[in-house]
């Protein structure tokens, strides 16, 4: 028997929710918002989303989707093409094997791993960018960015959990 249209739409929303929410965060990160600290935090929003979905729903945010998200960031920010795509792929690839051990642990462990991942991510980004411009870029802003991302991860994680419950848990 053919599935009713509402079921098809529901299934589609379920399958595309992680990609759609991550893409939305990419656009939010580009907004010209006069909020204190937003400019520093903005580049970390997609990283936070990729970390969350790679941990909780990796099947719904496959590598090709992570690659496309990264490529969109590179194009929209005018950075080196492929750079953010590579960095986000590294985050997703690192999280896949860890998932088995982490998924049964509580939020504090997830947060601790996020701290390590986000610090490594930003440091690697700093190393590659410094190499590309043949100069040591300042570490002050990347450090602030990491601290803000760590501080705000619980809030974003709570929001993504709501999305998860609204769209995905029914599936």
Partner 1 sequence: MALTLTAIALMALSEANSPFAGRMRTQVVDAFTPILAAISRPVESVSTWLGAMATASSLREENAKLRAEIEALRATRVHAAQIESENRSLRSLLGAPHSNQGRPIAARIIADSGRGFVRSFLIASGSAHGVRRGLAVVTAEGLIGRVTEVGERSARVLLLVDLNSRISVRVQRTRTRAILAGDNTSTPRLLYLPLDTQVRPGDRVVTSGHDGVLPPGVPVGIVAASEGGYLRVRPHVSWSRIEFVRVIDYDAKGLVPASPSSTRRLN
Interacting residues with partner 1 (CB under 8 A):
27, 29-34, 39-40, 42-43, 63-64, 67, 70-72, 74-83, 85-86, 89, 125, 129, 132-133, 135, 137-138, 141
Nearer to partner 1, 56 or 125 (CB): 125
CB of 34 to partner 1, least distance (A): 5
Q: Are 149 and 47 in contact (CB under 8 A)?
A: yes
Give the residue with the Cβ less far from partner 1, 37 or 171: 37
Cβ at position 48, least distance to partner 1 in Å: 15
Residues with Cβ within 8 Å of 69's Cβ and at least 6 positions away in sequence, in order, are 19, 22, 23, 26, 46, 50, 85, 88
H or E, element range at 165: none
DSSP track, 11-36: HHHHHHHHHHHHHHHHHHHTS----T
19 and 60 Cβ atoms separated by less than 8 Å: yes
Shortest Cβ 86–partner 1 spacing (Å): 4
Question: Min. distance of Cβ 10 from partner 1 in angstroms?
Answer: 24
Nearer to partner 1, 47 or 160 (CB): 47
Minimum CB distance to partner 1 smaller for 47 or for 163: 47
Q: Are 124 and 91 in contact (CB under 8 A)?
A: no
44 versus 60: smaller Cβ distance to partner 1: 44
CB of 62 to partner 1, least distance (A): 10
Residues near 48 by beta carbon (within 8 Å), at least 6 away in sequence: 25, 114, 118, 149, 152, 153, 156, 157
């Amino acid at each position: 028997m053919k599935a009713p249209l509402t079921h098809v739409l529901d299934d589609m929303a379920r399958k595309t929710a992680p990609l759609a929410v991550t893409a939305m965060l990419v656009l939010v990160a580009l907004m010209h918002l006069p909020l204190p600290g937003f400019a520093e935090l903005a580049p970390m929003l997609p990283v936070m989303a990729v970390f969350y979905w790679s941990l909780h729903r990796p099947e719904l945010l496959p590598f090709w989707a992570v690659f496309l998200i990264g490529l969109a960031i590179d194009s929209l920010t005018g950075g080196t093409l492929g750079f953010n795509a590579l960095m986000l792929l590294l985050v997703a690839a690192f999280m896949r094997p860890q998932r088995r051990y982490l998924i049964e642990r509580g939020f504090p462990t997830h947060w601790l791993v996020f701290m390590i991942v986000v610090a490594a991510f930003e440091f690697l980004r700093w190393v590659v960018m410094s190499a590309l411009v043949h100069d040591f870029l300042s570490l002050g802003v990347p450090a602030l960015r990491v601290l803000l991302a760590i501080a705000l991860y619980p809030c974003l994680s709570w929001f993504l959990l709501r999305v998860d419950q609204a769209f995905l848990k029914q599936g």
